[in-house]
Structures are given as C-alpha cells and as structure tokens.
Amino acid sequence: MVNKGITIGIFLIVAISALVITEKLGLTDITGSSVKNEESNLQQVEVVPLSAEERAKVQQTLLSSDFIKDVPKNGIISLRFFNNDGGQTIWHDEFLIGKDELLNSGNSEIYLAMHTRYISEMNEGNLCEIINKAINNGELKLESQESKAKLLVKYAGMLKHRECFGVEF
C-alpha cells in the first residue's frame, strides 16, 4: 500500500512539473499563436541550407549534450533554425534528435525553432546556456501536436533539464 502511494505521488509530481514546464514555455507555434490540432507551420516551409561549418557545429553541440542521452527511445525532437530578412522568416536546416543520435528521418513529436544567431555561440557543453539565452530573447519557440499528458509521460526523463528552459519549481 505504501509503495502504491509513493508511486502515485511521484506520478503526480511529474505530471504537475510537465504542465508547469509547458505553461512556462508557452506551447505556441512559431507565429506566437496557440497550438491547435492543425498541420504544423514548421513542416510547410522551403529550407535554405546552413553552411557546412554551421551544420557541423550544431551536430557536435547536440551530440555532446546531456539532452540527447535523455530523449526517450522512440522519441524524436525536431530543431530547425530560422532568421529574418526584411520582415520575412527564412527557414534553415532541421535536425532530428533521437536517443543518443541525430536521425536522418522520422516523425517528430516536439518541434523547436531557434534563431540562427545562436549557432555561432554553440560549443560542447553550453547548449543549456544557449537555450536560456534564446528563450529570454524570444527566439526559441516550441510546438507540438501531442497532448501535454502524452508528452509528460513519454518525456518525463527529460524533466531534469527544466532549468535549461527557465522553469523553476
């Protein structure tokens, strides 16, 4: 009976934590609108490739981060870069992040969009710092078509990285 109570308590703490994280991050699409069960704006774009140097820097930073180790086995997170030119958004490469690796294909459940200005600042070990900086400047957006409950259950192992997203409990 005590074990069941502890299990329920832990589940409730994780559930509440995930809800707080998603509220703090403001699950919104890249335009700032609330996410609805519609086709993702991040998937309907023409992509201008990053330079080979930028691509290598992003790959090296992602592969050396703790985040990639904590992605669930069957989870995929998309990270796409953008910049603005004369008020128009220009999209760049997408990186599919799986458990301990970058993937060539797959269906993402979580879409992140970050301004390209942060690529030059990336290095091994500073992904958390870059994410916080982008959030504080309003240049990191999160979108998901999945329910918060489903994301909470599946990505609960990543809650230890909540401080990287500016979420405190």
**Which sequence spans correspond to the domains of the chain?**
28-146
The per-residue pLDDT for range 20-39, each reduced to its tens digit, is: 454 554 444 443 433 333 34
CATH topology of domain 28-146: Nonspecific Lipid-transfer Protein; Chain A (3.30.1050)
Instruction: Identify the pLDDT of residue 2.
Output: 47
CB 156 within 8 A of CB 18: yes
Closest CA to 108 of 141, 146, 82: 146
DSSP 62: H
The pTM of the full predicted model, rounded to 2 decimals, is 0.71
The per-residue pLDDT for range 56-74, each reduced to its tens digit, is: 999 999 999 888 888 999 9
CB 144 within 8 A of CB 38: no
Alpha helices in the chain (DSSP H): 2-25, 52-63, 67-70, 127-136, 148-154
Q: What is the mean pLDDT of residues 135-144?
A: 90
Distance CA 54, CA 98 (A): 20
